[in-house]
């Protein structure tokens, strides 16, 4: 996604979370620039952003955010992660008698549900 597309989607999220229909986001905007941006609304905004973009942020990533531009770059980074280099399924080397498991959680952006516990094709019994 482009920065403009992400900012547009984030603007809708900010309108809903902060109940400020007139807010216009810019990359330099900080919490001090938005009336009512407290710790509770911050958590709500992060959760809404994760759900809207189908990503999951680590606590350290959230703590490092200084402005809206940092959030945009974080979303772009999450969106551009290439998981295809990692194996999605276990590899079995019969000659050596070893099994290599993929790193978990593997969460390609192409999955329909970002919090799926298993890749498509796995059967959970």
- The whole-angstrom separation of Cα 99 and Cα 76 is 34
Q: How far is CA 104 from CA 8, 27, 36, 97, 122, in A?
A: 32, 33, 37, 22, 14
pLDDT of residue 96: 73
Spell out the residues 6+ positions from residue 114 whose beta carbon is closer than 8 angstroms to its own: 50, 54, 55, 56, 107
pLDDT digits (tens, 9 = 90+) for 75-91: 988 766 534 345 556 67
Pick out the chain residues at pLDDT < 50.
82-85, 110-114, 125
In the block, residue with structure tokens 């959760």: 47
Name the residue ranges covered by the structural domains of the chain: 3-80, 84-125
Query: Can you say whether residue 108 is alpha, beta or left, with left for phi > 0 and alpha for psi between -120 and 50 degrees?
Result: beta
Question: What architecture is domain 3-80?
Answer: Orthogonal Bundle (1.10)
d(CA 9, CA 29): 15
Which phi and psi angles does 101 have, rounded to 5°? Answer: -95, 145
């Amino acid at each position: 996604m482009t920065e403009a597309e992400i900012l547009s989607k984030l603007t809708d999220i900010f309108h809903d979370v902060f109940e400020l229909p007139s807010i216009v986001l810019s990359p330099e905007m900080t919490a001090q620039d938005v009336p009512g941006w407290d710790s509770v609304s911050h958590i709500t905004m992060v959760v809404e952003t994760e759900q809207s973009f189908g990503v999951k942020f680590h606590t350290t990533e959230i703590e490092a955010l200084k402005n809206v531009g940092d959030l945009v770059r974080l979303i772009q980074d999450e969106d551009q992660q290439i998981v295809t280099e990692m194996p999605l399924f276990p590899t079995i080397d019969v000659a050596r008698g070893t099994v290599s498991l993929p790193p978990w959680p593997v969460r390609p952006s192409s999955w329909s549900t970002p919090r799926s516990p298993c890749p498509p094709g796995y059967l959970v019994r």
